[in-house]
Structure 1
């Protein structure tokens, strides 16, 4: 019968704790790496999401050429005649990063009403976030009443627009009527969250004019004449 070598048992016993200690250290390092990896992944994901919402991850198509088509909008629609066309304000152009824009003043030869219209095409993020409620309220005016949805139907589309009315700070009655909405190439919509639309680029239309009355609202009358031409230009 062989006698067990006590030295072998001693070496085996001494190696056990060392191996366990090494395994524990490796596991600790791995466990610390997991939160770091998750943090990096979330940071990258948030950058991608923000870039998508901001419209920076655009397809390689000629967006400038598409924006240039806005210049084809007519100078006359029924009683409405173009009297002035101006470039988009330099500060607004830089902020909105438009691929194309038209800012025009139209006059109604029948009732002498005048409206200003801006048609913009650009990346979804900047085009979506600037609304009249914010812009006009910071320019010495105040909103009167609530923003509401208006419907305009053409032979091709059923458009929905936001409308809001504004007054000078010292006045109680509204004197300015503003209609606006967004489109991805189809009907314009009064959207609460256009920035999350599943599209890379947006059109925006905004019309401002006198309030008028229920039987004659210049902004509505202008859009009824103007939108059929817009439908033929946007994609």
Structure 2
């Protein structure tokens, strides 16, 4: 057994190194991850009465955030309501770690209070769970306030775990969704919240159809 211990240890070390390299993307993006990124382009720009246009993220932010692919759109309707939707995909580690505190903190925003959880009823016994908070930039010439909702999805629904890095560590890829609303001119918070939830109820089924229906078929 003494003679077998060394080669077995070597094999275990090599396998552990390969597994870590595969999960961390050291050997390049996997085919599965690339397919997940490609599905982002299947999300419609028109959702009900909402029409969107795309815009680009700062390439440096994409690199720092280790984002493999993304879609960022501003949806607007005839009533003048607008929401910015950012959906990113990548390896679970960095995608789980980078929350709005990190993403928007670099732009001068800070959370106004503790994060709150919100459950969205989608019908047919389906729900989506999100974190929500107001992020404030007080140092601007005109103070800015953004209401941000965010959640992650690895194929089992939109969730808001306390520790996303731990929750999604075994996954091969991960999506993260932000829904952002300019709350600087809010007068009736309850009405704005109701309108935002109605938009998300229209948005999420369209997103899910593009990202996950192929996986289920």
Give the TM-score band, short-chain normalised: 0.7 to 0.9
Give the secondary structure class of the aligned counterpart of 1:214. helix
Give the secondary structure class of the aligned counterpart of 1:216. helix
> Given the superposition, is the C-alpha separation of residues 185 and 58 from structure 1 closer, same or farther in structure 2, using an over 3 Å criterion?
farther
* Unpaired stretches in structure 1, ≥5 consecutive residues: 1-37
* Unpaired stretches in structure 2, ≥5 consecutive residues: 1-8, 213-217
Aligned counterpart in structure 1 of residue 47 of structure 2, from 77, 80, 98: 77
* Match status 1:195 vs 2:165: yes
- Structure 1 position 72, deviation (Å): 1.4
- Structure 1 position 174, deviation (Å): 7.1
* Match status 1:205 vs 2:177: yes
Moved more, 182-191 or 151-160: 151-160
Count of equivalent residues: 197
> Given the superposition, is the C-alpha separation of residues 189 and 122 from structure 1 closer, same or farther in structure 2, using an over 3 Å criterion?
same
Maintained 8 Å contact 2:70/2:87: yes
For normalisation by structure 1, the TM-score amounts to 0.70
Match of 1:107 in 2: 76
Match of 1:214 in 2: 190
Maintained 8 Å contact 2:32/2:172: no
Give the secondary structure class of the aligned counterpart of 1:230. helix
Match of 1:66 in 2: 36
Q: What CA deviation, in whole Å up to 9, does each residue of 1:127-164 have, x standing for no partner?
A: 11111022223322222121110111213531101111
Give the secondary structure class of the aligned counterpart of 1:94. helix
Maintained 8 Å contact 2:108/2:139: no
Q: What CA deviation, in whole Å up to 9, does each residue of 1:27-78 have, x standing for no partner?
A: xxxxxxxxxxx9x99x989967865764558995343233122111112222
> Given the superposition, is the C-alpha separation of residues 95 and 138 from structure 1 closer, same or farther in structure 2, using an over 3 Å criterion?
closer
Q: How does 1:100-179 map to 2 (within 5 A)?
A: 100-110=69-79, 112-155=80-123, 157-170=126-139, 175-179=145-149
Aligned counterpart in structure 2 of residue 225 of structure 1, from 196, 202, 212: 202
Give the superposed CA RMSD.
3.3
